[in-house]
Amino acid sequence: MIVFLFVVVIMIVIAFVLILPPLFRKNFTIETDSIQDDTNLSICRERLRDLKNDLKAHRIDQQQFEQARSELEQNLAQAMSEVQNRVDPKRNSPWLAMLIMITLPLLAIGIYLKTGMPQALTPEFEKKLVEQQEMPDVETMINALADRLKESPEDGEGWAMLGRSYLAMNRFKEAQDAFKQAHQLLGDDVALLADYADAIGRGHVSDLTGEAKPLIERALELDPNHPKTRWLAGMLAFQEQEFEKVPDYLQPLLEQTEPGSEIHEGLKSLINKALSQTGKPTIADKEKRQPVVAINVKVSLSDQFKNKVDPENTVFIFAKAAQGPPMPLAVARLKVKDLPTTVTLDDNMAMRPDLKISGQKHVNISARVSKSGNAIAESGDFQGVATDIKTVSSGPVNILIDQQIP
């Protein structure tokens, strides 16, 4: 950017040297009819704009542009010098020189802002350009790795990296060749076998029953809990119509994924298809038949605190896992004036689909009077707690709010 600005300043100075000296000669001035010289400036601007457009449209090259601009500057200087033929030796006019000194830089800046790339002057653009020049694209890096492996073919890890790169780019045949080289050098590595089998399967329209099968079976022998191997094994079992094996391979993966995520739904769909082929209940059927667990909680306030609370104060009733995350499994909210009362905490109050009362064997239940109305406990609040409550218990849980939080 500094170099560019320096060049701009130099060019403006050169223009001034060519144009201004005649205007500062002693007793130099221009008659009124010399205003027509403004037309020369206008023509110069138009011609310069045309030259820039031609350069931008590649109708002329940079050398032709510089030559034409130099001729334009010389013609302008000559036209301005001819003003001497219309001078009145008794007067001088420095105002024209000042006008040119102001308008010429402004004209140049305006043309650049209109036809150039002002953002290229920012430090961010320069930094980004340097980064782009320093960082080759992915294709270039992969080709460089492939060229290096031709010179050092004994680099097993390099062949594995090349295979995974080709696999990510859906270049399955090249990925297979790279994984084959890596397998010959590194032997039976679980991750390598899974990637090798994946490349073969995806290169054959996801068919894993051919060359990929022995690789998957060997990977299962080495590590039956490897996630990608289990996924491939489940797919292989489905393709070979061994539907009863599909849930065995994929169910552990399903439990490790976020409910509602794309991979979770994909696994569940494949398991359900396999289960439907065996006549067993699908996951969806099991979820529909699963009863909603509910706990009845009778909440009352100790007599010693009745005069210390406002009837409009908020009362929160929480159910939390006895052993697990601190996030509430169910929450109910009411007023002090509603006490004593009985509330029901159940799965429908769950804050997250994977955190429900039915998913716990024991829970802790608390009731708290919040003077501020804040769900987070504060000093001065009143509370009562019942711990280690069995979720399958049919009897109501009695909670007496008889403690004050210090």
**From first to last of its 406 residues, what are the pLDDT tens digits of the chain?**
566 666 667 777 776 666 666 655 554 444 444 444 566 667 777 777 877 887 787 777 788 878 877 777 777 667 666 544 544 444 445 666 677 767 767 777 777 666 766 665 566 655 665 555 544 567 888 888 888 988 889 999 999 999 999 988 889 999 999 999 999 999 999 999 999 999 999 888 778 888 999 999 999 999 999 999 999 999 999 999 999 999 999 988 888 888 778 888 888 889 989 988 888 887 765 554 455 678 899 999 999 999 999 999 999 999 999 887 788 888 899 999 999 999 998 887 877 767 888 888 889 999 999 988 888 889 999 999 999 888 876 578 999 999 999 8
Backbone angles phi, psi at 385, to 5 degrees: -135, 140
pLDDT at 109: 72
Asked, as a colleague might, if the bond just before 340 is cis with ω within 30 of 0, I would say yes
Sheet of 330-335: strand order equals: 330-335, 314-321, 362-370, 382-390, 403-404
Q: Which residue has the tokens 């034409």?
A: 68
Token pair 């219309």 is found at 86
DSSP, collapsed to helix, strand or coil, labels residue 403 as strand
With 0-12 / 13-18 / 19 or more C-beta atoms within 10 angstroms meaning exposed / middle / buried, residue 278 is exposed
As a whole number of angstroms, the distance between CA 98 and CA 103 comes to 9
Burial of residue 144, with CB atoms counted within 10 A of its CB: 0-12 exposed, 13-18 middle, 19 or more buried: exposed
Q: Which two tokens stand for residue 303?
A: 């007599």
Q: How does DSSP classify residue 375?
A: S
What is the sign of the dihedral through the CA atoms of 322, 326, 330 and 332?
A: positive
The answer to whether 377 and 339 are in contact (CB under 8 A) is no
Q: Where are the domains of the chain?
A: 2-124, 138-288, 294-404
Cα–Cα distance measured from residue 356 to residue 327, given in angstroms and rounded to the nearest whole number: 10
Structure-token pair, residue 98: 């000042």
The whole-model pTM stands at 0.43
> DSSP H helical segments within 240-330, as ranges?
246-256, 262-278, 283-289
**Cβ–Cβ < 8 Å for 22, 83:** yes
List CB contacts of 143: < 8 A, sequence separation 6 or more. Answer: none
Q: Write the DSSP symbol of residue 86.
A: G
Q: Which fold has domain 138-288?
A: 1.25.40
Strand partners, 317: 332, 367
| Residue 404 pLDDT | 92
DSSP string spanning 57-77? TTSS-HHHHHHHHHHHHHHHH
pLDDT value, residue 287: 52
| Residue 89 pLDDT | 45
Mapping DSSP onto H, E and C, the string for 164-232 reads HHHHHCCCHHHHHHHHHHHHHHHCCCHHHHHHHHHHHHHHCCCCCCCCHHHHHHHHHHHCCCCHHHHHH
CA 59 to the chain's CA centroid: 41
Hey, how many other C-beta atoms are within 10 angstroms of the C-beta on 283? 16
- Give me the half-sphere count of Cα atoms (radius 13 Å) on the Cβ side of residue 275: 18
Instruction: With CA atoms as reference, report the closest residue to 315 among 336, 299, 343, 288.
Output: 336
User: Among 365, 304, 314, which Cα is nearest to 338's?
Assistant: 314
Residues whose CB falls within 8 Å of the CB of residue 102, separated by 6 or more in sequence, listed in order: none
Query: In this structure, which amino acid lies at residue 74?
Result: Q
Q: Check residue 334 and give its pLDDT.
A: 93
**CA triplet 93, 99, 104: central angle to 5 degrees?**
140
